[in-house]
């Protein structure tokens, strides 16, 4: 017997998968749409009316698409990354972070008027309520800036209670502008808190990225100005981190956002996910590794340690990219620009030697291990005087437009539902409760 599970033939272009359930002998035609089958169609496969339908077990969503998205395209085998169809190389070379943010949020590049209005809006929402400063001061001197950022982004929802009204397009726009604008202010203040230095208010005469540097590093000077090559390098790093399709933190934003909570709370979940060492923390590990290697002469023995399984070459390898991470290529170039201003970080030589040897070595070639975005970014951040705890905050500022573009897509997508995965229950059933007096006697 053959049964067909939903979707019209126009949607599927006639493509389908035939599944035979060997428990019952029934065959099912499961439609294939855009190279995927619907998990719900497999749910129709059951041994009888009473039994649960077939489920898909996929810890970590390694092969499960959770949404349709038109924000970011990645081809990991070819090393391609595109935002809204534009190659990352062209955006990094010719665009600005705020223009890329506009592109991600609106889906297309802005006209001159649209760009100017967008930059104006973002610039004039950089200030935060004075009470934010008050509660930030309440964190201990050694509070991690990512912990402060996560808490303060979430707290913004209490300052803008209207943000709950996510069905209203103007309201959504307002919160998106506020969040992109205020993230650098919150990140910079988290940094100043750790240093015991007074918080610096935004300077609306500066560009987005230069203003961020001013809030971080300004002391008693009347006006802060950074070298424009450093501003450009940091702007490029923000562009490179702006989105990366359904990674762990974006998935967290979408999952929490699917409950229809306000966007500040959803983005706070994204910051929390990014805080974890498997996601936002690898560049810090690269720096530690380079310091441990210590000099170029020690590189061959370190590589031998990696090949024998005693070490991991941090900043190499990626779940999606099985080719040179396109972001790593751009960062390598930005390194040259930054070191021209700051002087060369002595660790660069070690990193270059590691890359040279690894790219020729069979162990790495066979496993398709190439430098990823984190291999060189830590060197730049260090040259820009950031302590390692701030690296993930920089990532969060860059990723904010991506999180918001994905959130916007989610709340407007009629196919989306509240995120609620299935489980395979492995525990006990129907135990009889024994009261404490009997258990303990």
Burial (Cβ within 10 Å: 0-12, 13-18, ≥19) of residue 126:
buried
With CB under 6 A as the contact rule, the residue among 313, 334, 347, 383 that binds ligand CMC is 313
**Minimum distance from CB of 12 to ligand CMC (Å)?**
31
Residue of 188, 233, 373, 405 interacting with ligand CMC (CB under 6 A):
373
Using rule CB under 6 A, residue 378 touches ligand CMC: no
User: Interface mask (CB under 6 A) for ligand CMC, residues 327-366, using x and -?
Assistant: ----------------------------------------
Q: Residue 282, interface with ligand CMC (CB under 6 A)? A: yes
Q: Considering the complex, what minimum distance in angstroms separates the CB of residue 373 from ligand CMC?
A: 5
Whether the Cβ atoms of residue 315 and residue 370 lie closer than 8 Å to each other: no
Looking at beta carbons only, is 286 or 383 nearer to ligand CMC? 286
- For 339, phi and psi rounded to 5 degrees? -70, -20
| Among 374, 382, 389, 409, contact with ligand CMC (rule: CB under 6 A) | 374
Kindly give the interhelix angle for 299-307 and 347-360, rounded to the nearest 10 degrees: 50
Report CA-CA distances (Å) from 246 to 68, 72, 321, 360. Answer: 10, 9, 14, 31
Six token digits for residue 111: 């006209």
Q: Tell me which residue has its CB nearest to ligand CMC.
A: 317
Binder among 79, 315, 401, 402 for ligand CMC (CB under 6 A) = 315
110 or 305, CB closer to ligand CMC?
A: 305
Task: Tell me, yes or no, if 432 is annotated catalytic.
Answer: no
Segment interacting with ligand CMC, rule: CB under 6 A, options 98-106, 258-266, 309-317, 347-355: 309-317
Task: Find out whether 405 and 243 touch, Cβ atoms under 8 Å.
Answer: yes
Which helix (H) or strand (E) segment is 73 a member of?
strand 72-75
Specify the stretch interacting with ligand CMC by CB under 6 A; choose among 26-34, 145-153, 228-236, 368-376: 368-376
Of 125, 241, 244, 318, catalytic? 318
**What one-character DSSP code corresponds to residue 168?**
-
Active site residue: 336, 374, 413, 432, which one? Answer: 374
Residue 261, helix vs strand vs coil:
coil
Q: Distance from first CA to last CA of the chain, Å, rounded?
A: 59
Q: Is 367 in the site for ligand CMC (CB under 6 A)?
A: yes
Which of 23, 78, 129, 312 lies at the binding interface for ligand CMC (CB under 6 A)?
Answer: 312
Minimum Å gap between C-beta 410 and ligand CMC is 20
Nearest Cα neighbor of 151 from 280, 269, 53, 69 is: 269
Binding window for ligand CMC (CB under 6 A); candidates: 342-350, 370-378, 405-413, 416-424: 370-378
Least distance (Å) from ligand CMC to the CB of residue 293? 14
62 Cβ partners below 8 Å, 6+ apart?
none
Q: 256 or 373: whose CB is closer to ligand CMC?
A: 373
Q: Which residues from 119-178 bind ligand CMC, rule CB under 6 A?
A: none
Contacts of ligand CMC in 243-262 (CB under 6 A) = 244, 247
* 369 touching ligand CMC, by CB under 6 A: yes
173 is catalytic: no
Q: Indicate the residue among 254 and 318 with the shorter CB distance to ligand CMC.
A: 318
Q: How far apart are CA 132 and CA 185, in angstroms?
A: 11
In degrees and rounded to multiples of 5, residue 321 shows phi and psi of -80, 120
Work out how close the CB of 111 gets to ligand CMC at its nearest, in angstroms, rounded to a whole number: 32
For residues 126, 131, 134, 135, the Cα torsion angle rounded to the nearest 10 degrees is -90
Whole-number Å distance between alpha carbons of 420 and 258: 9
DSSP code per residue over 201-249: ---TTS-HHHHHHHHHH--S-SS----HHHHHHHHHHHHHHS--SS-HH
- Is residue 288 at the binding interface for ligand CMC, with CB under 6 A as the rule? no
The SS3 of residue 418 is coil
Which of 78, 319, 356, 422 touches ligand CMC by CB under 6 A?
319
| The one segment of 41-49, 96-104, 202-210, 367-375 that binds ligand CMC by CB under 6 A | 367-375
Measure the CA–CA gap between 241 and 286, rounded to whole angstroms: 17
Cβ atoms 183, 238 nearer than 8 A: no
* Cα–Cα distance measured from residue 271 to residue 148, given in angstroms and rounded to the nearest whole number: 10
* Options 118-126, 154-162, 170-178, 314-322: segment touching ligand CMC (CB under 6 A): 314-322
Q: Interface residues for ligand CMC in 5-64 (CB under 6 A)? A: none
Which residues are part of the catalytic machinery? 318, 374
By CB under 6 A, name the binding residues for ligand CMC. 244, 247, 279, 282, 306, 312-319, 367, 369, 372-374
């Amino acid at each position: 017997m053959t049964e067909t599970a939903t979707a019209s033939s126009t949607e599927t272009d006639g493509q389908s998968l035939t599944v035979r359930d060997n428990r019952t002998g029934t065959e099912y035609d499961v439609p294939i749409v855009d190279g995927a089958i619907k998990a719900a169609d497999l749910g129709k496969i059951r041994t009888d009316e009473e039994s649960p339908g077939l489920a898909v077990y996929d810890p970590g969503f390694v092969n499960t698409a959770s949404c349709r998205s038109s924000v970011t395209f990645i081809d990991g085998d070819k090393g391609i990354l595109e935002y809204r169809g534009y190659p990352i190389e062209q955006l990094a070379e010719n665009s600005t972070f705020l223009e890329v943010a506009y592109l991600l949020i609106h889906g297309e590049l802005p006209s001159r008027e649209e760009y100017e209005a967008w930059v104006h809006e973002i610039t004039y929402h950089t200030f935060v309520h004075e009470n934010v400063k008050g509660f930030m001061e309440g964190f201990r001197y050694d509070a991690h800036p990512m912990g402060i950022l996560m808490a303060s982004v979430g707290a913004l929802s209490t300052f803008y209670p209207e943000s709950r009204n996510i069905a209203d397009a103007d309201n959504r726009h307002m919160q998106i502008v506020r969040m992109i604008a205020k993230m650098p202010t919150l990140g910079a203040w988290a940094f100043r808190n750790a240093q015991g230095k007074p918080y610096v208010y935004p300077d609306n005469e500066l560009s987005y990225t230069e203003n961020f540097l001013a809030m971080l590093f300004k002391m008693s000077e009347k006006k802060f100005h950074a070298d424009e090559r450093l501003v450009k390098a940091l702007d490029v790093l923000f562009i490179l981190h702006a989105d990366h399709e359904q990674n762990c933190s974006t998935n967290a934003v979408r999952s929490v956002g699917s409950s229809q909570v306000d966007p500040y709370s959803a983005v706070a979940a994204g910051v929390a996910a990014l805080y974890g060492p498997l996601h936002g923390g690898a560049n810090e590990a690269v720096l530690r590794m380079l310091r441990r290697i210590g000099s170029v002469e020690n590189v061959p023995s370190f590589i031998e340690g990696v090949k024998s399984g005693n070490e991991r070459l941090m900043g190499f390898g990626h779940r999606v990219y099985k080719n040179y991470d396109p972001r790593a290529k751009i960062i390598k170039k930005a390194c040259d620009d930054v070191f021209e201003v700051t002087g060369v970080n002595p660790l660069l030589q070690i990193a270059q030697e590691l890359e040279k040897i690894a790219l020729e070595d069979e162990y790495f070639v066979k496993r398709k291990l190439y430098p990823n975005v984190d291999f060189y970014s830590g060197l730049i951040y260090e040259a820009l005087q950031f302590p390692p705890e701030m690296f993930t905050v920089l990532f969060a500022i860059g990723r904010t437009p991506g999180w918001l573009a994905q959130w916007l897509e989610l709340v407007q997508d009629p196919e989306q539902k509240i995120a609620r995965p299935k489980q395979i229950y492995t525990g006990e059933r129907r135990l009889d409760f024994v009261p404490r007096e009997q258990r303990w006697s």
